Amino acid sequence: MDELQQIWKRHQYVARASAAFIYGILVSVAMNFFWVPGKIYSSGITGLAQLSTTLMKRYLPFQLSTAALLFILNVPLFFLAWKQIGHRFTFFTFLAVVFSSIMIKSISTVTLTKDPIICAIFGAAINGFGTGLALKNGISTGGLDIIGLTLRKLTGKSIGTINIIFNAFIIFAAGAVYGWPYAFYSALGIFVNARVMDIVYTRQQKMQVMIVTNKPKSVVDCIQTHMRRGITIVHGAEGAYRHDQKTILFTVISRYEQLELKNAMEESDPYAFVSISDNVKIMGHFYEPEP
């Protein structure tokens, strides 16, 4: 058993390192093929690094590349993550940022088009896919992710407001530097990035599950073997067609766990009726694995 656990851990480490490397490639493609030619700013710390590079070119006698600034701006956040979130999480986040900085610096800028709308949409879609892939594999891409996870751990509150304020600053900066139409193009890119990231990274999307079954004990045991979820049991339900006794089970899962739920139901009661509702708002405790 210990040997299997070691093999599984090594597999997880390789998967996370690979996801960090792939993210580095994707963000560099988004940056050098679309954002730079289209004069589009990204969201978060990446956008701040782009803005800082632009201002340094205009107003300072020296300058640093976006790749270098991306790493420098993340350094204090690495220390925060190491102290507040976890060493393993910090290590793989560090890898993701290092790979990003190296790839952005190494891959030359290619002007496929200067159309700002195309650059905003395609750059954001590529970056959103990379970010979602990284999050799906249990790593962060640095920046606001670290601040958000830290605040959620300390206060239990979301970082949504800070994200909105920070990205609004980036959007207005794009307008001030390149002209106000580019503020709207950058806003479009930030929106597309978030949507694509949500499509890829589904762990934060909650779903309510209702199960009508004749085998409640088997179903409960199997679900809790496959995933760590609480279940509410309602006895005494009655089927309207045959008037046979049923039990109703309620639980909430993440979209990421749908396959595990399906496997659990096939093992325990393949004939059970299962209804799943999207977009559930949770009040109270909902277990989420540590990064």
Q: What is the pLDDT of residues 155-185, one digit of tens each?
A: 655 556 677 788 888 889 888 888 889 999 9
Confidence at residue 158, expressed as pLDDT on a 0 to 100 scale: 56
Residue 263, domain member (yes or no): yes
Cα 248 to Cα 100, 140, 198, 210: the distances in Å are: 48, 38, 30, 7
CA–CA separation, 46 and 72 (whole Å):
11
The answer to whether residue 289 is domain-embedded is no
Average pLDDT over residues 43-63: 90
**Same domain, residue pair 95 and 229:** no
Residues 157, 21 share a domain: yes
In sequence order, the 6+-apart residues with CB closer than 8 A to the CB of 164 are none
* Same domain as 133, residue 51: yes
- Alpha-carbon distances of 276 from 107, 187, 209, 280, rounded to whole Å: 44, 33, 5, 10
Residue 282 in any domain: the answer is no
Tally of CB atoms within 10 A around 210: 15
**Residue 211 pLDDT exceeds 80:** yes
Both 28 and 145 in one domain: the answer is yes
Host domain of residue 217: 206-277
Domain boundary among 137, 166, 200: 200
The answer for residues whose C-beta is within 8 angstroms of residue 72's C-beta and 6 or more apart is 64
Whether residues 20 and 148 share a domain: the answer is: yes
Domain final position from 182, 200, 218: 200
Give me the residues paired with residue 224 across strands: none
152 and 255 both lie in a single domain: no
Kindly state whether residues 185 and 218 are assigned to the same domain. no
CB 170 within 8 A of CB 45: no
Across 91-95, 150-154, 164-168, 273-277, least confident range: 150-154
Domain identity same for 191 and 121: yes
Mean pLDDT across the chain: 85
Asked whether residue 169 falls in the same domain as residue 219, the answer is: no
**Dist CA 8 CA 3 (whole Å):** 9
Do both 228 and 145 map to the same domain?
Answer: no
